[in-house]
Structure 1
Amino acid sequence: MKSLNFSKVLVGAAVLFTTMSCSSEDENPNLRSAMEYSAVSTSKGYSEQFVDVEGNTTVSKEEGTLGLKMFQALNYYITNSVSTGTPIDASIASSIAYNTGNGFLDLTGSGYDLSALSGADFSIMDRVASSRSNSEIEAAQANLELLFAKLEAASQSLGMTAEINQAGKLGNYLLDEQGIELAQVLQKSLIGAYQLDYIGNVLLTTGLSADNSTLVSSENFTALEHNWDVAYGMLTKKEIYLDGYTESQKGEVSEFGLGAYLWEYNKSGYPLIYPAFLRGRVAIVNNDLTEVEKQANIIKAEMEKALANAALGYLGKWRTADSDDRRAHAIAEGIGFIYSLRYATTFNADATFSDLILLNLVGSANGFWDLDAAKISAAETAIKAKFNIQ
C-alpha cells in the first residue's frame, strides 16, 4: 500500500488558518474539543494521547517512520558492504535513495520491511534539502550522487591499506585516497540534509501553515496535525522518544540519526524534545498557532545545537585519538556534521558558512593526511561563534 502523499497534504490542503488562542468558540471554532496541557504526559505514548470523540487516535506518523527507515536502510547498505568486504554499487545506493527499481528489495537480510519501503510514494532524494531553492536541492542531490560514486571507487580497494593517494582500509574503516571515510560523511550529511531540513525547515516551519479546520479526505487528521506527527515519526520510531534511556546509558532499542545525536550531544536540550512535541500537538488541537510555533522553535533550536556540538565533539576526538584510523573515523563524522550545519536556520548558518569551514579543514590535495591542530582549531572557532557555544 502506498503511504499518504505528504506533498499533497501540505500543498493541496494548505489553507492558512486564523490563529490565536481561543478567546471564544464563535470567534475561533475548533474542529476538536479543547485540551488542557496537563492532559498529556511524557510517560505515555504519543499516539494514544490524541484521540477523537470516539476514542480513535488522530495520529498517523507512519509516513515519518517510513522516511526514517529509508535512511536506516541506505545506511545499512553502505556500512554492511564495507563490513562484509563487498564492493559498493553506486547504482544500488542511488536506487535506494531515489526509491526506484529494486533498490530496497536488494537489501536481503537487512531485517526491514522492504516491500513497505519500496511501496512508499516518496524517497530520500525527494526530501533532501527540500526547504531550499531548486539549485540548492540539485546541489545536495549531486553531492549525494558524488559520494555514492566515490564510495564505489574506494570500495574497489578493500584489500589495500589506506595511505596518501591510495584508497583502502585503515583499521576497520574504508577511506578514499584523501583519507576520508565516505560512509560516515554520507550518514552525517543526511542527518542534516534529510532529517534536520525536512523536520525543522519544512514540517515545523512552512508546514505549520497547513489547514487545521477539516480532516484530510478519508483520514482522521487535519493536514497540520499530520505535518506535526510526520515530524515526530521522522525523528523516532518510538511512541515515547528516548524511552528507556538515561543520562548516561542508551535504552534497549536504540534511536538512530538525529534522534540519537540529540541525546548524545545536547544533554541539556534533549529532555525538552518530547514535551515540546506533546505540547505543540495540544496547541494544534486548540488551534493556537502561537503556541505551536513556540514549541516548534524549541525543537528546531535543540536539534541544531546537537549537530553543532556533534561537529565540535568529533573535531575534539581527532585531537584525542591515539591512532590514524581513529582520527580518520572521527574527522569523517565531523565533516558530515559540518556539512549538515548549512541547514541550521535558527542560527542563520548556510552553505557558505559550512563550505568555507570544510574547505579550510580538508580542502587540500591530501585531505585528512594534511590535517593539523591549527586547522582543527579554526573550524572549532567558527562553529562556536556561529552557535554561541562557549
Structure 2
Amino acid sequence: MKEQTIVGIDVGTYQVKVVVAKVSGKDTVALPQIIGTGFAESRGLRNGYIVNPEDATRSVQSALFQAEKSAGFPIKHAYISISSVGVDEIFSHGEIITSRADSEVTDSDIEKVMQDSEERVAEHIPNRKILHDVPLAFTLDGDRVLGRPRGLRGTKLEVDALFVNVIEQHLADMVAVVEAAGVVVEDVIAAPLATSFVVLSKAQKRAGCVVANLGAETLSLAVYENNLPLSVKVFPVGSNDITNDIALGLKIPLEEAEKIKRGGNSPYSKRKLDEIINSRLADIFELLDIHLKKIKRDGLLPAGIILTGGGANLSGIEEVGKAALRLPSRVSGLDPSTNGKLKDPTWAVAYGICVWGASNQSETTGINIAKQAKNSIVRWFSQFLP
C-alpha cells in the first residue's frame, strides 16, 4: 500500500475546519499524520444545516485555501462530516433463515439479516438517508451470540441494529456546498462518531461512556458500551444559547456577551455570571439526561461523560455535568496517541474524519469509497475490539 493523503472537512455552524493528513504505506495501524490545516468563520448555516449555500461555499473555500497553503498542494477530494439537528437514530430488528444446508452462518447471511432490519425501518423514516448501520446484538435460534455469528450453526438468525440517519435535504445541501468549493466528496460520516474516534480511549468505549460535543448551535453525542455506539444524536442547543442568556441577563450587546463567555475581562459580578452560565448548562445536561434515561443508560456509564467542542471550555462545566448526570465528568482534548499538532478539542471532528477516511482506503481498486461503501462502520470498530 502506497502512502496516501486524507482530507477531513468539518463544516460547523461557527467554523469550517479542514485537516490534511498523511497515511503511511507501511504502518497500517498508526494514526494519520497531520500535514496541513485550515479554518474559516462559518457563514450560511443554522443548527448545523445549510441555509445560504453561497455563503457556506465561500466559507469552505476560505478554509480550503488555508489548508492547501499549509499542506503545499491543492485539495481535490475529501471526506466530510454532518452534524445538523437532522442527525438522528432509529432501532430495528431483523431475522432470516440461514441459507446453507449445513446451517452454518455466512457473511451473506449477516448481510441479509441487516438488510431485513433496514427494510423494516425504511418506511418509518421518509425523506431521510441512512448514514451508518451498526449491528448491536445477534441471536441464533433464540440464544444470544457472544462475538461474531459467522461460522456458527443454526437455523434462525436475528439482529438488533442501530441506524444513524439524517434528513436527506440536509445531506444533499452539505455535499453540494463542499463540491461547489471544488472538492469531490468521497463519503460522509456523522460528526459524533468522528469525534469519538480521536477523543475516546478503548477502555472508555468498552466500559461505557458518552462523548458530548457542545458546539455553537448544536449538542452532538455518541453513547458507547462494549466498544459499540449504542446511540448517536444531535440536539438543537449550544453555547450560543449561553451567549444569549448573558446578553439578556446583563443587558449587554451580544458581542460583549460572547467575549465574557470566553473568559474575557468583565466588570460584572462573577456570581451573577456563574448563575447565568450554570443555569443554561443545567438545562443542557438535563436534556442529555432525559436521553440517557430513554436508552436506559442514565447513571450507568462507568467512564462517564467526556466533554469536547468549543462550549466545553466554559468554567465549571465538569462540575455541572457531574451533578446533573450523576456520572464522572471531564473535559477532553484529543487523545494523547493522536497527532501532537492538534490539541484543541474543537479540531476533533475534522481529524476524526481523517482517521475514519484512512480506514476506508482501498489498497487495490482505487474506486471512490462513496461508490462502494455499504454505510456500515462495524468493520472499522472491529479493528479495535479486544
In which range does the TM-score fall when normalised by the shorter chain?
A: under 0.3
TM-score, normalised by the number of residues in structure 1: 0.28
TM-score, normalised by the number of residues in structure 2: 0.28
Which gives a bigger RCO, structure 1 or 2 (Cα 8 Å, sep 6+)? Answer: 1
Q: Which has the higher helix share?
A: 1
Q: Which has the higher strand share?
A: 2
